[in-house]
């Protein structure tokens, strides 16, 4: 069972992937470029740097299904990509709050 934070990160990225599937042109959007720039500026140390580089490559590919497979993978690598994911910025406040409520509900039910 994933913890609350891991649940929220997975649900947030699932919702963002749904947004990308409906609007694939967002992969090359300035929203994601600015998000990646901000994440790089606020990431210290070297542990997450390779994942940020991978995000750059994933976004550059503009392949929504490749992005989905990577960020939604049920393994350590997928979890690390979710920690550094820029995709949450694609969600509206309403969508983001819905994900948080859903994550809290899942954790409360277990």
Q: What tens digit of pLDDT does each residue of 24-77 get?
A: 999 989 999 999 999 889 888 899 999 999 999 999 999 999 999 999 999 999
- The share of the chain scoring above pLDDT 70, in percent, equals 93
pLDDT at position 58, please? 96
The dihedrals phi and psi of 42, each to the nearest 5 degrees, come to -100, 10
pLDDT at position 1, please? 45
Structure tokens given for 69: 């497979």
Q: Taking the domains of the chain in order of start, what are their residue ranges? A: 4-109
Give the up-direction half-sphere exposure of residue 6: CA atoms within 13 A in the CB hemisphere.
12
pLDDT at position 45, please? 81
- pTM listed for this prediction: 0.86
Query: Is the model's pLDDT at 108 over the cut of 90?
Result: no
């Amino acid at each position: 069972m994933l913890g609350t934070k891991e649940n929220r990160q997975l649900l947030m990225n699932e919702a963002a992937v749904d947004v990308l599937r409906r609007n694939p042109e967002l992969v090359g959007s300035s929203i994601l470029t600015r998000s990646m720039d901000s994440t790089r500026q606020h990431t210290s140390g070297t542990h997450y740097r390779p994942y940020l580089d991978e995000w750059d490559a994933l976004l550059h590919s503009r392949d929504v299904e490749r992005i989905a497979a990577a960020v939604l993978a049920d393994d350590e690598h997928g979890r690390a990509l979710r920690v550094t994911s820029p995709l949450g910025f694609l969600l509206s406040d309403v969508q983001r709050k819905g994900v948080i409520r859903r994550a809290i509900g899942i954790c409360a039910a277990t």
